Amino acid sequence: MKLKRLMWVVIIVGVLVGLFLLPGGAKSQVDVAKEFELHPLIRLPKLGPIDLSVTKAVVYLWLTTAVIVVGALAVSRILKAKPGRFQSFMEMLYGIAHDGIAGSVMRVGVATWFPYIGSVFVFILVSNAIGLLPLPLGEHHQLSFYAVTGNLNVTITLALFTFVFTHYAGIRQKGAWGYVKGWMLPSAPPVMRELIFVMHIVSEFFRLVSLSVRLFANMLAGHAILAVFFTMALVFQSYLIASVLQAGSVVLFLFEIFIAFIQAFIFAILSAVYVSGALEEEH
């Protein structure tokens, strides 16, 4: 009950703060796309082509990792046989990751690959959740929403982890040649076999694309819609329309909480499906 009230307070505050998230305050012409542009907050020297400058996205990544590290260390310190509310919550998350995601789709290798599947679930969930908090990291240090998972570079890196681990798992299980041979249907006629092999390779790369783009586009679209609702209130310059739009943005915000969870869930469960597909005998 108390938690529920707290949640409502957070939502209402978040939505009200949304009114002030716009760059330059009450500009009537707002470019939503600007919200997702990255400007270096701390400039660092370039290492060849790699620009390690600390941008908004990097700060969000740090925050995500910090939250995870603090949470993990805290929960490992206070572990008790009779769990408190915090430990129960952590155990619930763990249960979703272990039984709901890894356990439900992987028939083999849960013990080996759960650390990765669970980590990717927690990482995406935490970064999505942080994306729903207004933080003063905008261009002019105003409060704003930004999700680091709404950046294709981040999601494609995460998808690459899944991609690499999938093939590593397959190769470790069956040997390099045995794993690649598994992609060819031995029963197919000679030319078709090679064609299927090529199609399989293409589909492996499309998995990479679909994993990364799904997460990226969902988070980006969600934040863009939220930003559009917030900016429209300014565009119309009317308290009546603004209040209606704020009601709409509350609904959208709730929906975004759901999306944040579902996207983490889907990313992790698809990773589990891919890894277990590489591990299984018949392919």
Partner 1 sequence: MDSHAARLLGAGLAIGLGVIGPGIGLGTMIGSALQSIARQPELTGDIRTNMFIGIGVIEALALYAFVISLILLFVVK
Partner 2 sequence: MLVFSPGLTVWTLLTFGIAVFVLWKYAFGPLQHMIDARRANIQESMDAAAETRAEAQRLLDEYKQTLANVRGEAQDILESSRAAGDKARHELTAEAKHQAERIVAQAHEQIERDTRAALRELRTQLADLTALATQKVVTGGLGAVEQRRLIDEALRDLDVEQLGTEN
Q: Given the rule CB under 8 A, which residues bind partner 2? A: 36-38, 49-53, 55, 57-58, 61-62, 64-65, 68-69, 71-73, 75-76, 79, 81, 90-91, 94-95, 98, 114-116, 118-120, 122-123, 150-154, 156-158, 161, 216, 220
Cα separation of 68 and 1, whole Å?
26
**CB 88 → partner 2: shortest distance, Å?**
11
Q: Are 222 and 230 in contact (CB under 8 A)?
A: no
Sole residue written with tokens 């400058």:
53
Q: 142: helix, coil or strand?
A: coil
Q: Are 268 and 125 in contact (CB under 8 A)?
A: no
123 binds, among partner 2, partner 1, none (CB under 5 to 8 A by kind): partner 2
Is 126 an interacting residue with respect to partner 1 (CB under 8 A)? no
156 or 269: CB nearest partner 2: 156
Sole residue written with tokens 């680091």:
148
Q: Which two tokens stand for residue 250?
A: 């509350």
Q: Pick from 135, 208, 228, 266: which binds partner 1 (CB under 8 A)?
A: 266
218 binds, among partner 1, partner 2, none (CB under 5 to 8 A by kind): partner 1
Q: Which two tokens stand for residue 256?
A: 């975004």
Q: Pick from 102, 269, 278, 279: which binds partner 1 (CB under 8 A)?
A: 269
CA–CA distance from 233 to each of 27, 33, 51, 106, 120 (Å)?
11, 17, 37, 47, 36
**CB 75 → partner 2: shortest distance, Å?**
6
Site map for partner 1, 83-112, x if CB under 8 A? -----------------x---xx-------
Q: Is the dihedral of CA 203, 209, 213, 214 positive or negative?
A: positive
**Could you tell me how many residues of this chain bind partner 1 (CB under 8 A)?**
18
